[in-house]
Amino acid sequence: RSSQQGADNGDGSPSSAVAETPSSEDFSLSLLDTNLPAEAETELRSFIAKRLSKGALFEGMGNVASVDLSIPEYKVGCYYCLCQQENLLETATLESDINAPEYVVCFLGGSEKEDTFRLELDKYIQSLKLSLYLEQKTLETCVKPYLRTWFENSICPIQRVVQLFQEKLTFLLHAALSYTLVEVKNADERTEKDINRFLAAASLQGLVQEGTMTSLCIAMTEEQHKSMIIDCSGPQPQLHNAGSNRFCEDWMHAFVNGAEGGNPFLFRQILENFKLKAIQDINNLKRFIRQAEMNHYALFKCYMFLKNCGSGDILLKIVKVEHAEMPEARNVVTVLEEFMRE
């Protein structure tokens, strides 16, 4: 194998390097950029070399692990990802693949909680590949500045949205859960991107059936005939056509209270817990509905659950769409709708 490959490493900021994907230890790592102290960089390089020699890295798929570094003197979370230049990926053949330079990009944070942002960091690396060329000019003008923004761009958007919206965050959570269309007006590019990323992260996309999600989006659009509008022209965002419920209000307080610590990883964990609780409530309601098809007491349990869970308005819409083709369950949902209206 050629010895002119490399890997890379980085810390609370960036790093990147060239490395060949090896099945044995016949490769070398060349440092391209780092902001780690020399001793810690050597330790991280050793860690990456061991992973490479085991064939444990797959192109474009990030991993998160705990790494022992002498500076700081405790374990840190390390996200690392193997990637090739985009143009090489497109033109590579089996023969040329063997000697194509590859890169390992590493980001270090305070703990393994980077794992909750792994998908965001994977996307971040995909964007990097478009400008990844070996020329020093590109490295200095594009790659290094891009790498140094990883934390601000991938980890902090949820935190920035919480700080911007404060108590109004309840309306964003409600819009995400209810699949309401959202229009952002008069916002700078970063703010608009942050809001859209928050909505995507807070929605149940991927956690409920794809067909259900599509039907819900159509149903919500037809029902409301209007989207929620966020006007960012003033110091505080103004919201129009916004909805809320007790469930979203309770979780909004969890976000606002968490803002005192200023830990962006905490906000992501709260968001995951928010979605987990919503899914649990949906599954409980579905179970009650199945029981209510044959049992009037279970029907009453459905009603009480919807009244007390704080999110009955959204849950009822979701199960209505999911049970549209099931006559018995559809009848139960119809009765529940009547009771909830009364």
Are both 215 and 173 inside the same structural domain? yes
Please indicate, yes or no, if residue 295 is contained in any of the structural domains.
yes
* 27-84 residue pLDDT tens: 788 888 898 888 889 999 999 999 888 887 888 889 998 888 887 667 788 999 998 7
Are both 117 and 214 inside the same structural domain? no
pLDDT value at 305 more than 90: yes
Are both 293 and 208 inside the same structural domain? yes
CB 300 within 8 A of CB 199: no
pLDDT value at 117 more than 80: yes
Are both 125 and 225 inside the same structural domain? no
Domain span at residue 60?
A: 38-86+99-134
The Cα–Cα gap between 289 and 331 comes to 10
Q: What's the number of domains the chain is made of?
A: 2
Please indicate, yes or no, if residue 142 is contained in any of the structural domains.
no
CB 283 within 8 A of CB 204: no
The Cα–Cα gap between 226 and 204 comes to 21
Please indicate, yes or no, if residue 3 is contained in any of the structural domains.
no
Q: Pseudo-torsion of CA 181, 187, 189, 191, nearest 10°? A: -80
Are both 255 and 337 inside the same structural domain? yes
Give the residue carrying structure tokens 């509008």: 229
pLDDT band for position 264 (50/70/90)? confident
Counting every residue written for the chain, the total comes to 342
The Cα–Cα gap between 20 and 161 comes to 40
Omega into 14 within 30° of 0, i.e. cis? no
At residue 169, the pLDDT reads: 96
For the segment 330-341, the average pLDDT, to the nearest whole number, is 85
Average pLDDT, the chain: 81
At residue 90, the pLDDT reads: 54
Are both 113 and 45 inside the same structural domain? yes
Q: Where are the alpha helices (DSSP H) in 92-209?
A: 94-99, 118-129, 136-138, 144-147, 150, 157-165, 169-177, 189-202
At residue 16, the pLDDT reads: 47
For the segment 315-335, the average pLDDT, to the nearest whole number, is 83
Give the residue carrying structure tokens 């929605």: 203
Please indicate, yes or no, if residue 245 is contained in any of the structural domains.
yes
Are both 169 and 244 inside the same structural domain? yes
Which amino acid, 339?
F
CB 211 within 8 A of CB 325: no
The Cα–Cα gap between 85 and 126 comes to 10
For the segment 94-121, the average pLDDT, to the nearest whole number, is 74
Omega into 72 within 30° of 0, i.e. cis? yes
For the segment 278-284, the average pLDDT, to the nearest whole number, is 92
The Cα–Cα gap between 80 and 19 comes to 13
Please indicate, yes or no, if residue 56 is contained in any of the structural domains.
yes
For the segment 139-163, the average pLDDT, to the nearest whole number, is 88
Share of the chain above pLDDT 70, in %: 77
Structure tokens at 104: 């390992």
pLDDT value at 198 more than 70: yes
The Cα–Cα gap between 247 and 251 comes to 6
